[in-house]
Structure 1
């Protein structure tokens, strides 16, 4: 019998947010079917001015499902999708699920070797990709189990006359790609047009695996988190329950965060389908002009994103020329939201509610966030979602007193089934205790008496200098308060005396200058001596993942290699 656990956070839920939550036990295709039945003529997708209604989106997904079944895809088969945010991604995702397949999200930034590993590990026999990425697949084609490739291009989704002009533009820029004709290579658009909008006779259950989302998890080894229909639908429904003021059938979501990242998939795509929102698709979130134009042109109301994206908008020279005041709510995920970033974004949007959330791939992904319109605590990831239980525990799995640091564990209907073909990894990450199955996040956190949680840092990012624990986020918060700093990261580098010391990597705002000594002095005024960076490195831009998360590990590796090269006799 599951024992009730204390949930002090419930008293801080906004009015209208349920204290008890149970998922509806629907599958992901049923969300799209419901949207098409409820809002058939509502624009589901807006892609650079081309629009698709929910009725048309469901028809396209059904046509693709029929086509996949015709070429041999069967329930449980893995279908890899390697696309940016474009109409074809949404069609491919729901179409593959309607066919009973398991989607394998694949980053367009993968190198050939990374792509080869994922296709081989997942056993994907079908790949749907953008023509621009075909050359990378071609390099590893003979080493992977893929039997068929469906190829599409950006021009396939553009409105007239952009669809005709795009190839000319691409040829002029040298980016045009001609995919060689082959028996196993099929044109995505023609395949859909050739099929009726009929659904194969397959049974889909809430407990069936819907997605393999590859992640480094808590160990850094790439592996596929198995997320079921129940997991993904429950998390979208939890997000909907949290946003009590959301207007179904009326919202406009700026979908800049990539759908191939589970955060973008849940809060920008699945939540939009669940609530009948229009998705404004941004294929390249690094194109800030496209992001800004998308917000002002469509009067976007919801803007899920990541800290680096909000920070980039804060500092972009064209931001002031765009109207961003229609944005009502933003949940920032994927990486810590620094206080200064949030403050500046609220200022330029005239008070948009930008709140920090928290999650991880293995939880589909959101587990915590600050109230959208209720009590928000700066520097906090907020409260657990409805239906989420959370504990901060010591090394023996026992809850620690409020305010003390320990590892964050979470439980709920959004927690993954396990890692694909990794029983040992699964056993190390999912643990039965206190009457539940818990996901060990690997993150260090605290919980206060009111139930607000704070992430201290990742266990693996911890810097230990002279026996003192240093959390990179604390150093980064101080660096970001300097008016010249646009982006900052703190990493640990070897130190013969202390074991490790703090190395800061920063990118400055355009036109700003500052020295390493200036930044060290700035930190020294606000941090204990052992936390102050001993060295500062300047870069034009910090490296990021496709989801725009700063790559601390890469920065740490580069700094350590540079130190090795500078040693005498190296």
Structure 2
């Protein structure tokens, strides 16, 4: 009989610590971490978490980036029976503090490079979470005074590995991820152990990873695609290799040196390599899987990558956070896939086994097969709703025939047994693989003094331009965006228009705004 412990996220790491103790679980730079070392260290930190929080903690923030603390901290949180909450030191402090407060974390695991931000982040939080500094000393972090309970590297070295791990229920959250929100505040998405287990099972059936495989880790951990890298590796005795972002500019030597067999990134990484002329045929011979997700995959990029990785199978994955990492996939076939592309983008493919897909109109009525509509999916990967936001949950989830469907907000067409994506049906877009609510940017601009604000993808899909009215000086608006938004959400420029164009329904005419921007650019060209 399968126990809750067997099905928990992280069970594979525990198993392989016994079965393959000397196998490498993680590579950061030139440093390798064996399965035994990874599990023992994470269990020791888990013991500290359980003792410091007075029992099984609920949620643990991991405030670290591409470090031992960032990866082993995730395992430690899970071993302690908690959900992990990834945070990013590159995000504005106010945004991160809001996430900390809303998540009501019991403890924060921080690495040395992130710890300096802790006093400002924790100021005013009540109750204040316990702080763990596995690779730093308390004295090295000014401002962490006696008001805070801190366990630093010296303290943690004295803890024994947690012997009895709390057993989470399948419906307990494994992680809580915050995504861009149209109200100006990030939305929390709790993803359960059962959700992730369903995803991992489907993907292992699909990719058949073994201890011989080595996976890239190209994503920040605040991007849920990183969960694939870590746990597809750890569940199957493979190695995950954390890549420094600068290595993405020319990854070929890294792939060869580390014997990478599974590549996973947003398509824009491949597109940049193609534009730079370095994605040459045969340059990535070690790859057996090439996976892309997070935004549209252009046909030309897929073709160039396939030629550069000739021994790999290339797949285009699709899925919002609310459907647990990815939920559909298209396997690229050089003979047939080019003709199946729409708007020169690769199809998103077929839903994973166990998922039900429907395509609906604005009234949630099914549209005829082949007609465009909003893609909605139900099944074991469907998350339970937004974190403490029942009204928002009611807007994006609905019940039908005993199943709970999530409305993706993506317009698709069902054609030839698979789905092609036609774009968004709302203001949610993808920039560099990150999901962005344009309304969140607009909310920041209005709060900073703009009467009206519209954020657009212009002049291309990878660039955000803002147009505002009722403001003369754009500098304070640009500064507010820089201070309040992650870098990938900050508009490239803020343009002032005297009056917003509207359509026959009285709504802002975004097409007219794009024409205005193009004319303005031509006049100043």
TM-score (normalised: structure 2):
0.76
Question: Which among 170, 195, 198 is matched to residue 206 of structure 1?
Answer: 170
List aligned pairs for 1:164-243, cutoff 5 A.
178-180=140-142, 182-183=145-146, 184=148, 186=150, 189-200=153-164, 202-216=166-180, 221-243=185-207
1:431 is aligned to 398
Q: How does 1:298-337 map to 2 (within 5 A)?
A: 298-316=258-276, 323-337=283-297
Contact 1:82–1:129 under 8 Å retained in 2:
yes
The answer as to whether partners of 1:357 and 1:368 remain within 8 angstroms in 2 is yes
Q: Does 1:341 pair with 2:306?
A: no
Matched, 1:455 2:421: yes
Alpha-carbon spacing, 1:66–1:397, altered in 2? closer, same or farther (3 Å): same
Structure 2 residue ranges without an equivalent (≥5): 440-453, 464-480, 501-515, 521-525
1:104-503, aligned counterparts within 5 Å? 104-145=85-126, 146-152=128-134, 178-180=140-142, 182-183=145-146, 184=148, 186=150, 189-200=153-164, 202-216=166-180, 221-243=185-207, 246-265=208-227, 267-282=228-243, 284-288=244-248, 291-316=251-276, 323-350=283-310, 352-371=312-331, 376=337, 377-378=340-341, 379-448=346-415, 450-461=416-427, 503=458
Q: In the TM superposition, what whole-angstrom CA distance separates every residue of 1:494-524 from its partner, at most 9, and x where no partner exists? A: xxxxx9998424899xxxxxxxxxxxxxxxx
Alpha-carbon spacing, 1:502–1:264, altered in 2? closer, same or farther (3 Å): closer
C-alpha contact (below 8 Å) 2:61/2:84 kept by paired residues: yes
Distance 2:499 2:419 in 1: 39
Q: Whole-Å Cα distance in 2 between the matches of residues 456 and 321 of structure 1?
A: 30
CA RMSD of aligned residues (A): 3.8
Return closer, same or farther for 1:212/1:148 CA change in 2, 3 Å cut-off. same
Where does residue 171 of structure 1 map in the other structure? Answer: none
Q: 2-side partners of 1:433 and 1:92: how far apart? A: 39
1:165 match: none
Structure 1 residues 291 and 196: CA distance shift in structure 2, 3 A: farther
CA distance in 2, matches of 1:417, 1:453: 24
Contact 1:99–1:200 (8 Å) recurs in 2: no
2:60/2:82 contact within 8 Å kept: yes
Distance 1:188 1:96, change over 3 A: farther
- SS for the counterpart of 2:426 is helix
Return the offset for 1:188: 5.2
Q: Distance in 2 between matches of 1:549 and 1:398?
A: 38
| Alignment correspondent of 1:10 | none
Give unmatched runs, 5+ long, in structure 1: 1-22, 157-176, 463-471, 477-488, 493-498, 509-542
Residue 412 of structure 2 contacts residue 419 of structure 2 at CA under 8 Å; is this kept in 1? Answer: yes
State the match for 2:466 in structure 1: none
The question of whether the paired residues in 2 share the 8 Å contact of 1:296 and 1:323 is answered with no
**3-state SS of paired residue (2:88):** coil
- Give me the whole-angstrom Cα distance separating, in 2, the residues matched to 1:319 and 1:211: 36
Please give the per-residue CA displacement for 1:325-363, whole angstroms capped at 9, x wherever unaligned: 111112211111112222222223335333211011111
CA distance, structure 2, for counterparts of residue 452 and residue 354 of structure 1: 17
Q: Residues 24 and 78 (structure 1 numbering): CA distance in 2 closer, same or farther, change over 3 Å? A: closer
**Contact 1:85–1:258 under 8 Å retained in 2:** yes
Number of residue-to-residue matches in the alignment: 451
Find the aligned partners of 1:460 and 1:219 in 2 and give their Cα distance. 14
Secondary structure of residue in 1 paired with 2:212? coil
Please report the TM-score for the alignment, with normalisation by the length of structure 1: 0.70
The Cα shift of 1:288 comes to: 2.8
- Could you say which residue in structure 2 is the equivalent of 1:465? none
How many Å apart are 1:286 and its aligned residue? Answer: 4.3
* Change in CA separation of 1:111 and 1:503 when aligned onto 2, cut-off 3 Å: closer
Q: Is the partner of 1:119 in helix, strand or coil?
A: helix
User: What SS does the corresponding residue of 1:88 show, helix, strand or coil?
Assistant: helix
